[in-house]
Amino acid sequence: MLKRIALITRKPGMSREAFLEHWNEVHGPLVSEHPNVLRYVQDNVIVKERFVDRNPDPKRPLPAGYQGPEVDGIAELWFADRESMDELYASPHARVMQADGLAHLGTITTFIVEERTAIDRRPEAKGLVLSLAGECVLVTGAASGIGRALALGIARAGAAVIAVDVDASSLDDVVSTIARHGGSAQGHVLDVADRAACRKLARDLAEQRISALVNNAGVAIPSRLGADDIDAAWDRTWAVNAGGVFNVTAAFLRHLEATRGTILNMSSVAARSGRGMNTAYQSSKAAVTQMTRGWAVELADRGIRVNAIAPGPIETALTRHTRGDPDRVAKTLSRVPLNRFGQPEDLVGAAVFLLSGHAAFITGSVLAVDGGFDAT
């Protein structure tokens, strides 16, 4: 690969805060959106030192006052080859990038380099690194349970998170937790069953470069055919579990078309079972599975991948009624070879993988994360 390095010196009179805000929030996303840029790194210069040979002991040079050019930021852009780099810089998009940089940042000096790694002792250098750096992921049902774990895990992987849920107070806690750990997050109260509200949120976020949806919001309302509450239970279950997936996906489709993004739906192993006597939940999750497969084919020519995760028995509020009954616990675990309920965090790795570039050739798949439940 070929790398282009840019040394950026902010405009005279421009504060460091204003420089970083524009570089990180405006110029960076502008550069990143071109498909020829395989990787883009922004290095914020925090210490400037220049080592010179003024010490009588040549083995211990001392830092002198910085005497080189003033540099506030270093941008690193990776390209597959010289041709792909030249294609970008000959395009109208490059002229927009350059005009923005000169008008709002300052002086930019560039170098084209061939990188050679002499040594890399980082732990992640020894194996596969799953990163969502530079991505913006919208997660529904993010206030609790699986959704909360996914929002936190996706943020840890480097993505900016847009968390949505009907529970405003718990949503605030998720957003503040991500921020406290150095991540980027925003929260929006939304009932995914409300189609008009989903479309309004999409309009409100029109300027956000959303590259992935995680359709996680769901309910499980126990009810049986013939029960007095079956109508309400059935309608609400389908409105959230299946209707919500449609509403959010349809509302944010243009965002994903612009970024050639990814959709990750939350199905369930219950979609393939008649056990449990909650037909509304099981059938709604079966619909999610079929939406996943159908949209994977339908949206492939727009560069959008669509996959799903099918969780098994997970310790969340949705399974509280099962876990409160010792007989049902024993019956459930008898079908789980790993002999335990899963934790919401057990789904994070699978989700980050399916959202990442490492899954670039995977679409239409439903990955069971179930302790072996589906194999029995």
Kindly state the DSSP code that residue 192 receives in the 8-state scheme: T
Annotation marks residue 281 as catalytic? yes
Report domain 136-375's class: alpha beta
| pTM greater than the 0.75 cutoff | no
Could you give the CA distance from residue 41 to residue 34 in angstroms, rounded to a whole number?
A: 14
At position 320, the amino acid (one-letter code) is: R
Spot the catalytic one: 40, 66, 89, 281. 281
Question: What are the residue ranges of helices labelled H in 228-340?
Answer: 230-241, 243-251, 253-259, 279-298, 320-323, 326-333
Tens-level pLDDT at each residue, the chain (376 residues)? 688 999 999 999 999 889 999 998 899 889 988 888 888 889 888 765 554 444 455 555 544 444 455 788 999 998 878 888 999 999 999 999 999 999 999 989 898 987 776 666 665 555 667 899 999 999 999 999 999 999 999 999 999 999 999 999 999 999 999 998 889 999 999 999 999 999 999 999 999 999 999 999 999 998 888 888 899 999 999 999 999 999 999 999 999 999 999 999 999 999 988 766 689 999 999 999 999 999 999 999 999 999 999 999 999 887 777 777 888 888 889 999 999 999 999 999 999 999 999 999 999 999 999 999 988 8
Residue ranges covered by each domain of the chain: 2-113, 136-375
CATH for 2-113, options being 3.20.20.220, 3.40.1190.10, 3.30.70.100, 3.40.50.2300: 3.30.70.100
Could you give the CA distance from residue 164 to residue 329 in angstroms, rounded to a whole number?
A: 31
